[in-house]
Structure 1
């Protein structure tokens, strides 16, 4: 009889409660840090028809970094002889708050048929890094903190970024897994090698005791002025959690903590807050005319292997720049060698640490072709010192050389001709065949000289006459020279793409662009800086889109000294750069 009553009661309860649909929201945390994510679920229980969510109040105050992931279950119910299918659906989100404070979630509303159902509400307390957290909330807290050594650097001034994982002492973790490394647009990034034996270290931050782990570090060198974001670092961190087992015995010994529970690890996704770095422009006051964007603190010294040589004997001259700064912007020097010297292309050597501390050396081989006493003027480099916030100059000593012996008059080579160019010139030499010609006795030496001079200078005077009369356009000549210089270098870059040598392609591309604008501005290639190019184009009413596209290509040229672009990106730049210059030519 008692059993019949129990069954009757259970049947009545099932009839009373089985049919009631509901919407329930819940979360696995009620207090978190702003850069911490948490799991949020929306449960639709006991619906026998289609369900549509009509309102998600409070969800807009969070970033959805995962989900919604859906799971469902079905069962059949028979009530008063009627059988129907009942469905329960669970949506799971991974959320991260957009700001701090108390944030209310809910009510969420869902429609099924002609009825609307409303959920409960929950409140999430969000703390910012460094906030004073109540004692009862100082457990199970974890976040990633970003430390930037200098948030207001100048272009070329290297800064350091460190990422630390902070956890409260009551938490245990395993090694974090990198999900997404931070993006560093506007910077040249170098990894900093950290010790493989890093351990958790005790620290107090915001009045709370933490254990911290040094996760990642980078050196960043900004390439231009402006505001840039050091983006978020995302980690999956396995946290140890305790789960209770069902009690199996009344034995007090078996109820000991060792047997009453076991520990497992559950991954939690954490991300750091992005940090804005404001890269300041170089001041205009006191800027020397020879400044090309070099930033840091430098010294320069010259050396040579001998100060007295014979004619046609080689001399090795070295210029070594030491210091800390953006050595990448120091690709060449403008040494003023005597005109009677044959100059070979310099060899550039460097020894630099990750924070751009070290030296760069330029080694020249020169061959004097005539005897005499020569001087090489002091070489100056201009740079901006971020610490003193002033422009400074480093200068070498004057070099004095004595050349003795007899000149070989049959070999006069112009200044700044490279070894390759000498070979090309050699191919163009033509020998004059002896024939009847003009007999020596039939013409005087004076007339012979006058005739020779007339032949030599006739093209020159014809050119001057045409230029003065307006038959030759100076700007057209300038454009033709600039574009010809550009294409001479740029054609070589195609071979590098075909050889899959991306870094050398971008190196030649940068040289080609700088050579083009150097001809436009009547400057040496070493005296050209990107900001000067963009300013000239802007003043000449070149469209912002063209300037932005050119800037993107030059930025990649700079970045590819360290980070290699894809072959598809290189091919795209190879196609687009001449088209950009054509658009620039139309305006200039």
Structure 2
């Protein structure tokens, strides 16, 4: 199952298989003619390949504000662990997006929690399996939040829009709205001093007067004037020096950033290393799909940036046509190695294997070697 990330004409390379078939041959032996009908069989090696496919990917219509990348057929539900709590107690809001489509590519929807709540990074769990109809399953998102003040608060309903491929239109789903009753708990940090009990009070005061100073106030002896002191002159000198340094750095950055192509080529290796580190994390966690996705992103991203190839033209055929015509022997060899690793990665991603860990280790090592080899060759040329 493929999910396109780009619009336009995309090419799917042929898949080739080496097979052994039995071919009947006529025998001149009279005993074969009597017992075997006059024929025998020999094994012949044949290469079978699928046709090259070209897909025209069209862009989605104008996207609504609550569209998070979902394409398919989905439902949404939500639950909350408790609505009557005390301050500083954790609240977990669970949102489940289920159905058939690109579940893994849906970004995390944003929940508008009250401003007095302390929120944390959501936990996402993709429970997806591959079927004949595509990826099916659910995306479970857990939002953890902690109320810091007592009162009654509302968590508004979450709206989720997705593109329905059957009706070719956007559909909007809505979760339940929750009302939370928060009571004052022990060890509450609401009390500051006097009657100023919470953030709301401080925000109102901040509109007209300054808040009182709670710490000790430092007083200076009479006659100890700031004017004319060393500190006074530093207030003039330091900004001038900072401005000169700022101008110098800005000019340097402007010169470097003027050539966008040069910056893109320069950063290609760093971006690839960063993606491979993330792939290494997925390798250690044995997350096969995420691992192969990240390795392919690192490989294609690196070669596109390093050779300055537009995304619309980035393909194996283009690499062979462009690089093999213009490049020297070393770059051709490095490109062949690079293409071999791409094929190895794509094959290992979907091929059944009794040892996924070993296959992932091999792909990871090959990807690092291919990028290193390509980087060495390109550095010598440029």
Within 5 A, what are the aligned runs for 1:30-179? none
CA positional deviation for 1:316: 1.9
Residue 410 to residue 245, structure 1, CA distance change in 2 (3 Å): farther
Match of 1:566 in 2: 364
| Counterparts of 1:379 and 1:574, CA distance in 2 | 46
SS class of match (2:69): coil
> Partner residue of 1:322?
98
Structure 1 unaligned regions, length at least 5: 1-218, 248-253, 415-444, 453-461, 480-486, 512-541, 578-588
Contact 1:502 1:567 survives alignment (8 Å): no
CA deviations on 1:106-137 (whole Å, 9 max, x unpaired) are: xxxxxxxxxxxxxxxxxxxxxxxxxxxxxxxx
**In 2 relative to 1, CA 450–351 (structure 1 residues): closer, same or farther, beyond 3 Å?**
closer
Alignment of 1:124-523 (within 5 A): 219-225=1-7, 226-247=9-30, 257-258=34-35, 261=38, 263-284=40-61, 286-354=62-130, 355-406=134-185, 407-409=188-190, 448=213, 497=277, 500-501=280-281
1:471-499 CA-to-partner distances (Å, cap 9, x unmatched) read 999xx8xx9xxxxxxx9xx99x7697499
Distance in 1 of aligned mates of 2:157 and 2:372: 39
- Across the aligned residues of Structure 1 and Structure 2, the Cα RMSD in angstroms comes to 5.1
Q: 1:321, CA displacement in angstroms?
A: 0.3
Answer yes or no: is the 8 Å Cα contact 2:191–2:198 preserved in 1. Answer: no
Change (3 A) 1:379 1:413: farther
Contact 1:224 1:279 in 2 (8 A): no
Partner of 2:318: none
Distance 1:447 1:364, change over 3 A: closer
Task: Name the CA distance, whole Å, in 2 between partners of 1:395 and 1:244.
Answer: 75
Q: Could you say if the C-alpha distance between residues 547 and 400 of structure 1 is closer, same or farther in structure 2, counting changes exceeding 3 Å?
A: farther
Secondary structure at 1:222's aligned position in 2?
A: coil
Q: 1:329: Cα distance to partner?
A: 1.2
Q: 1:494 to 1:329 in 2, by over 3 A?
A: closer
Inter-partner Cα distance in structure 2 for 1:316 and 1:235: 53
Structure with bigger RCO (C-alpha 8 Å, 6+ apart): 2
Shift of 1:246: 3.2
Q: CA deviation at 1:255?
A: 8.5
Q: 1:570 to 1:345 in 2, by over 3 A?
A: farther
Counterparts of 1:324 and 1:332, CA distance in 2 = 17
Q: Give the CA deviation at 1:371.
A: 0.8
Cα drift, residue 392 of structure 1: 2.0
Is the 1:318–1:363 Cα contact (8 Å) retained in structure 2? yes
Change (3 A) 1:404 1:387: same
For residue 372 of structure 1, report the CA deviation from its aligned partner.
Answer: 1.0
Contact 2:103–2:139 (8 Å) recurs in 1: yes
Instruction: Give the CA deviation at 1:358.
Output: 1.0
After superposition, the C-alpha distances for 1:396-417 in whole angstroms (9 at most, x for unaligned) are: 1212211112542379999xxx
User: In the superposition, relative to structure 1, how do residues 327 and 547 fare at CA in structure 2: closer, same or farther (>3 Å)?
Assistant: same
Counterpart-to-counterpart distance in 2, 1:405 and 1:447: 25
SS at match of 2:104: helix
Does the residue aligned with 1:378 lie in a helix, a strand or coil?
A: coil
Match of 1:215 in 2: none
TM-score by length of 1: 0.36
Aligned partners of 1:560 and 1:306: how far apart in 2? 47
Shift, 1:262, TM fit: 5.0
TM normalised by structure 2 equals 0.52
**Residue 367 of structure 1, CA deviation:** 1.7
Residue 447 and residue 498 in structure 1: after superposition, are their counterparts in 2 closer, same or farther (change >3 A)?
closer
1:220 to partner: Cα distance = 3.0
Q: Flag the 1:262–1:278 CA change in 2: closer, same or farther, 3 A.
A: closer
Matches of 1:361 and 1:567 in 2, distance apart? Answer: 33
Structure with greater strand percent: 1
> Matches of 2:32 and 2:60 in 1, distance apart?
73
**The structure with more helix, counted as a fraction of residues:** 2
Structure 1: how far apart are the matches of 2:74 and 2:38?
64
* Larger Rg belongs to: 1
Name the SS of the counterpart of 1:367 in structure 2. Answer: strand
Match of 2:166, SS state, is coil
Aligned to 1:339, the other structure's residue is in SS state coil
